[in-house]
Chain A
């Protein structure tokens, strides 16, 4: 089974190598597209295996856990890998039109594929130190992508992004060291039981270190400042993949750690998470309301939406986790799509500063419709995917009588509509200030297809999740059940050991 788990990581690395060798030729960009397509197939095969077996685990190099490095895919990991592959394919097609030859010659496609490898690696690993390594893989390629092109504005945003992410990485490493010192293991399945014997007070301190480290990655209040400082500066395809995937790796790591390992003092850790979730939602959406740039508004919305996912984790009821998983998947699709649309709008209307563009509705109605789908979904209009995600979370909050947090979630939804309306009114509704008629036909047919095809496909996914939420909700329910009762996860790692006994797993 281990090739099945290794393939979603190995394929992007292979694609990256080939794309780097052919970076001066048009073949390079097509290798990126086909590599992403192959990744999508590999992730679908993995998903089928996980649906069949529950949890799939394998040990790399044949060393049994907890000595070797374990890769584990449960339902949450599998769905995150599938969605990563979908975004990778969409963005690599979009990049055919968006990324120029100068950026390609500097190795855009190779960096992009290494980033995807880092993301899938982080989703699939079952070893804490290995997770650190995947974070680093992801980080170093994201540094490269962020400043590729080298405009002064990118360098400025890049410095802040690099600085704060490095601090969080070092905190993560310190946490790993302390946890290893307390338990003597770094295998996540092994840790889940090993922490029971550790000093519980000290464990809470280590849990807080992890919370801060992943909180920076996930852009939680008050650690999110690097995100709106940098996400609006790189190429559109880069900011789309960042917006879709990078912060969500932080959210995934938080969900994994705080359901599997740090569930000993929920009253303390998850209460902090609940406060953080509420404040993240509110500050994010207020920040967005104050911005006047297409991409800056969207960047602040990432922050606000992260709050909803953490809300699901903080409540830690079955229904709340269903909401968190559902939100995670829905958000990745919607957010990446909005950044892709901002790229088309900028291309045909001449910028992202809302005061300088306009008239898109009159002359580019197709783009306007494609914008409305993810924008309404983000705000939570029925029957789009965001409505169900918010509905489940608010219901979960009401079930545990969290009246205030449920109210905050609803209010933030309302404010989201406000800033989406701002984009709609200024970019689409009002006439262009310079009297230009922005038309999609001003793009070459090749560019038009490469840019609109992924946007359309992602919009279709949003609508499908919205109209047929049943199977997706049922899936999220199973994933949440696995998170709440990690015995299947722990057992799968033990079984993959070939009946090698892990302490405590047999109990």
Chain B
């Protein structure tokens, strides 16, 4: 299971890097979404995988009996997903605004804030 998840993370990162290097801002955002999911899966896998055991403690017991799932990585990933959702919503809006204001979202052509020096 770990190997499968590690492979998935690898493929996600590879695809994300490919998209982010394309120079088109919208593809860059898609790449970010992929790589952030890879990060979330990394946290999840790093917290050890336990198949088919919920993170529950029996009624009346103080501590779990036997093997349980680790709830902390799930809480961390949930936090990261929520924060990521907000950030991506903002980033997509920003890129759309850049499209209407600048007429391009190609990173190489976005030179308004740092104009090329005109040769004297």
Contacts and interface: CB of A to CB of B under 8 A. Distances in A.
Contacts of A232: 113
B40 to A, nearest CB: 8
A136 B94 CA distance: 17
Contacts of A359: none
The size bracket of the interface on A is 35 or more
Contacts of B111: 156
Contacts of A177: 39, 42-46, 73, 76
Contacts of B105: 159
A156 B35 CA distance: 23
Interface stretch (B51-59, B61-69, B83-91): B83-91
Contact of A178 (B46, B76, B79): B46
Interface SS, A side: helix
B74 interface: no
Nearest to B75: A129
Contacts of A159: 25, 94-95, 98, 105, 110
B112 A152 contact: yes
A136 B80 CA distance: 10
Interface string A136-155: 10011001000100101111
B30 to A, nearest CB: 12
A168 to B, nearest CB: 11
Contact of A181 (B32, B45, B98): B45
Given A155-B102, A177-B43, A178-B42, A163 B87 contact: no
Nearest to B76: A129
A170 B42 CA distance: 11
A153 B112 contact: yes
A45 interface: no
A163 B113 contact: no
A477 B14 CA distance: 46
B32 A167 contact: yes
A233 B98 CA distance: 15
A170 B101 contact: no
B10 interface: no
A164 B94 CA distance: 14
A505 B61 CA distance: 29
A177 B91 CA distance: 24
Most buried by B among A129, A132, A147, A177: A177
Interface in B100-114: 101-102, 105, 107, 110-114
A182 B48 CA distance: 10
A180 B110 CA distance: 39
Interface in B25-39: 25, 28, 32, 35-36, 38-39
A166 B113 contact: no
A147 B94 contact: yes
Contacts of B101: 150, 152, 155-156
Contact of A158 (B20, B76, B94): B94
A133 interface: yes
A174 B42 contact: yes
A163 B86 contact: no
A393 interface: no
A156 B102 contact: yes
Nearest to B91: A162
Q: 5 nearest interchain CB pairs?
A: A181-B46, A177-B43, A157-B113, A156-B112, A177-B42
Given A140-B86, A180-B43, A232-B113, 4 more contacts: A136-B83, A156-B111, A174-B39, A178-B42
23 contacts: A129-B79, A133-B83, A139-B87, A143-B94, A147-B94, A153-B113, A156-B101, A156-B110, A158-B94, A159-B105, A159-B110, A160-B113, A166-B91, A169-B87, A173-B43, A177-B42, A177-B43, A178-B46, A180-B72, A180-B76, A181-B48, A228-B114, A230-B113
